Structure 1
């Protein structure tokens, strides 16, 4: 049986607006982040998309976004948290390690500074989202998480070249997947905000 996952990035935060590195540290949603989440809520209503279950990361920017998108009960899961950037947390994005186009990430660059490796985040995201979708009563699911960890999850299922050419993942973007036989198939990205 095919199931559907709507994987949403949280709304814009103060750190996003200021160009600060935001992984396990948190900052509140901006007025734009709040307004954009409400636009996604309206999109779901206009398209009669309903969820039998909803989940968010334990970080407030994700759960606050989810609460603006739906008023249904939801579960917060630590496994959905953002990449830990170690000592880079809260610093200006100019300090980010250099992106390696061969591997499509910065790899282990944050590990010496107390952060996570890209592989560890990807493995965690694949595991937790598979566990969510494997639950018998989860057919049409909404999950709100974070940009970098969602990107690494997506990279597990489609080629890097396709992501670079076809996937724009802004704040409040929603990635739609089909799920069957413990595999995710990326369908499209829903962007209803500027």
Structure 2
């Protein structure tokens, strides 16, 4: 059976609005963030997409997004879906983030020196968690709400040569087909557009 994973980013938060680094730390959804989650919920309803299982990062911003999207339906919290830990950069202004090295598409292992995680650690954690989610799925569709850096790390691990690079905006949805332990990006959706 072909299975689909709808991997979604949380709605806009206060730290997103203030342009603060937000990985392991948390901040509440803004009014816009709540509206973005409602737009995602409306998209799923309009497209008649129903979920056989739903999962969220344990961080409040992801859980709050999930609770709006699921409108009271149950979901399971998974630590493996948490955002990239940026270590001592947590809560700092975003302009302090280092530029990517030439030819690199991520921060690599930069944050390890600051008690954070590397891109490979995040991708591995996300992949292990989502592989288990999909292997355990008895139906066709699973929803998982996570975070921008975590989604990007997962995308880098599983992308194919001809994949279009998705946007990683708040409440973006990456749709993956899962077959034989592999994830294949099908499309990306920005419900707010």
The interval holding the TM-score normalised by the smaller chain is: over 0.9
- TM-score norm. by structure 1 comes to 0.95
Q: Does 1:104 align with 2:105?
A: yes
- Over 3 Å counting, the alpha-carbon distance change for 1:160 and 1:169 in structure 2 is farther
| Bigger Cα displacement from structure 2, 174-183 vs 99-108 | 99-108
Asked if 2 retains the 8 angstrom alpha-carbon contact of 1:178 and 1:186, the reply is yes
How big is the shift at 1:54? 0.3
- Which residue in 2 is equivalent to 1:35? 35
- Over 3 Å counting, the alpha-carbon distance change for 1:98 and 1:80 in structure 2 is same
- Which residue in 1 is equivalent to 2:13? 13
How big is the shift at 1:159? 4.7
Asked if 1 retains the 8 angstrom alpha-carbon contact of 2:15 and 2:22, the reply is yes
Q: Identify unmatched segments of 5+ residues in structure 2.
A: none
Q: Deviations over 1:115-164 (max 9, x none)?
A: 0111111111111100100004142100000000111101111158845x
RMSD in angstroms over aligned alpha carbons?
A: 1.4
Large movers: runs of 4+ above 6 Å:
none
- Which residue in 2 is equivalent to 1:145? 146
| Bigger Cα displacement from structure 2, 136-145 vs 177-186 | 136-145
- In structure 2, C-alpha distance between the alignment counterparts of 1:119 and 1:41, rounded to whole Å: 31
- Which residue in 2 is equivalent to 1:189? 188
Asked if 2 retains the 8 angstrom alpha-carbon contact of 1:133 and 1:139, the reply is no
SS in 2 for 1:22: coil
- TM-score norm. by structure 2 comes to 0.95
How big is the shift at 1:92? 0.3
How big is the shift at 1:169? 1.4
Asked if 2 retains the 8 angstrom alpha-carbon contact of 1:104 and 1:160, the reply is no
Q: Does 1:174 align with 2:177?
A: no
